[in-house]
Amino acid sequence: MCDLLIRAPAKRVKRSRAHELLGAIRDTSAQLLDRQVAGPALPAATMALLQQAARGESVSDDNLKGVLEAAQRLHDRLGFQAIGN
């Protein structure tokens, strides 16, 4: 039980981070598309896991860690691309 109490806040933080990254990726991608600039994207399976995590659905810690890292890298790349165009 104690272990669950320790992990619960961390899961909420990760879910919140997934939601934040998903929104930022969506918004930046939309800005690029408005300027008719194609941007990079996450693989479909990775995006599906990011969406699941953002909705609060269960995603294993190992998968979530990799998904959040990939989403952060994409967010960074999109940001640089948006600034440069």
Domain map of the chain by residue range?
2-84
Q: Minimal CA–CA distance to 75: which of 9, 27, 16?
A: 27
pLDDT of residue 46: 96
List the structure tokens of 74. Answer: 């994409």
Alpha carbon distance 61, 11 (integer Å): 8
List the structure tokens of 1. Answer: 């039980």
Read off the pLDDT band of 38 (50, 70, 90). Answer: confident
Query: pLDDT tens digit string along 19-34?
Result: 999 999 999 999 999 9
Alpha carbon distance 16, 20 (integer Å): 6
Q: What predicted TM-score, i.e. pTM, was given to this entire model?
A: 0.81
Query: pLDDT tens digit string along 48-71?
Result: 999 999 998 999 989 999 999 999
